[in-house]
């Protein structure tokens, strides 16, 4: 019999997060959908089959994250799986990038993950099958042109996952999922007019986000004594 789990998912309003919420709702789990766009989260929640809690949260805001995990404890009595998926990418050559965009990537992709870890860990450590799934990227494994700082943030996510595994691997399952290109609105943030058309074409040829969602579910639905540590999933080119 499948365990009924409380699963918190950041970046649930779009792309990989939305696809994961929809796919997870077919199981007997309870979902916590987190993102800034409450309108989108509520519209998704209405269509899901499982118990859902919508929490309008900015992962960069520590007060909001602290209060979100308090609410999860109060409403569901604990947390079994935290999926750190919220992330942004801005693509630019390093000598023609916008400093505020670099800062936003660091704030969302690194600080957002550590904020959720800080407030989520005490709940996860009380679960019989606690798990953290960090959505990194192939950019956590190699560096691509025009995405130096994005790659740095995803390398950081990879390093945080490895540390979690070293220190807490006996108590928690730590999973890093590293997708290659996925066809989501992710690339629309890029403001570089010379690059945007090519980037859009490249990401449009990427995986459907449901493919990444299936990998996430596969990692969650392993037996108690099995932890999947690392998945790289990318389009066959």
Ligand X SMILES: NC(=O)c1ccc[n+]([C@@H]2O[C@H](COP(=O)([O-])OP(=O)(O)OC[C@H]3O[C@@H](n4cnc5c(N)ncnc54)[C@H](OP(=O)(O)O)[C@@H]3O)[C@@H](O)[C@H]2O)c1
List residues binding ligand X (CB under 6 A): 10-17, 35-37, 40, 58-60, 85-89, 108, 112, 135, 137, 179, 181-182, 184-186, 203, 206
The angle, 0 to 180 degrees and rounded to 10, between the axes of the packed helices 38-46 and 15-24 is 30
Task: Please provide residue 84's backbone torsions phi and psi, each rounded to the nearest 5 degrees.
Answer: -85, 95
| In the complex, least distance from residue 224 CB atom to ligand X, rounded to whole angstroms | 27
Smaller CB separation from ligand X, 40 or 162: 40
- Exposed, middle or buried, 219 (CB in 10 Å: 0-12/13-18/19+)? buried
Q: First CA to last CA across the chain, in angstroms? A: 38
In angstroms, how far is CA 68 from the centroid of its own chain? 16
| In the complex, least distance from residue 127 CB atom to ligand X, rounded to whole angstroms | 23
d(CA 232, CA 184): 18
Tell me how far CA of residue 84 lies from CA of 73, 109, 136, 192, in angstroms. Answer: 18, 9, 9, 27
Smaller CB separation from ligand X, 162 or 234: 234
Task: Please provide residue 224's backbone torsions phi and psi, each rounded to the nearest 5 degrees.
Answer: -55, -35
The encoded tokens of residue 150 equal: 């994005």
Smaller CB separation from ligand X, 112 or 127: 112
Sheet holding 131-135, edge to edge: 52-56, 30-35, 6-10, 81-84, 131-135, 173-179, 230-233
Smaller CB separation from ligand X, 121 or 140: 140
Asked if 150 is an active-site residue, the reply is yes
**Largest CA-CA distance found in the chain, in angstroms, rounded:** 55
Smaller CB separation from ligand X, 82 or 181: 181
Q: What are the residue ranges of helices labelled H in 135-179? A: 148-168
Q: Tell me which DSSP letter residue 108 carries.
A: I
Q: Which residues are catalytic?
A: 150
């Amino acid at each position: 019999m499948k365990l009924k789990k409380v699963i918190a998912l950041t970046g649930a309003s779009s792309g990989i997060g939305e696809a994961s919420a929809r796919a997870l709702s077919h199981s007997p789990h309870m979902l916590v959908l987190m993102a800034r766009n409450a309108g989108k989260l509520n519209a998704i929640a209405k269509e899901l089959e499982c118990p859902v809690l919508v929490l309008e949260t900015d992962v960069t805001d520590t007060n909001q994250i602290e209060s979100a995990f308090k609410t999860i404890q109060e409403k569901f009595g604990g947390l079994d799986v935290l999926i750190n998926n919220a992330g942004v990418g801005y693509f630019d050559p390093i000598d023609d990038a916008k400093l505020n965009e670099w800062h936003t990537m660091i704030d969302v992709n690194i600080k957002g993950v550590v904020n959720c870890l800080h407030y989520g860990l005490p709940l996860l450590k009380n679960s019989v099958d606690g798990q953290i799934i960090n959505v990194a990227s192939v950019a956590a494994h190699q560096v691509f042109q025009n995405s130096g700082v994005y790659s740095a943030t995803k390398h950081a996510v990879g390093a945080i996952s490895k540390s979690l595994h070293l220190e807490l691997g006996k108590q928690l399952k730590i999973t890093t999922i590293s997708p290659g290109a996925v066809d989501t609105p992710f690339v629309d943030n890029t403001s570089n007019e010379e690059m945007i058309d090519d980037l859009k074409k490249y990401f449009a040829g990427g995986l459907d986000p449901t493919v990444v969602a299936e990998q996430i579910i596969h990692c969650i639905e392993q037996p108690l004594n099995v932890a999947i540590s690392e998945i790289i999933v990318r389009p066959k080119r």
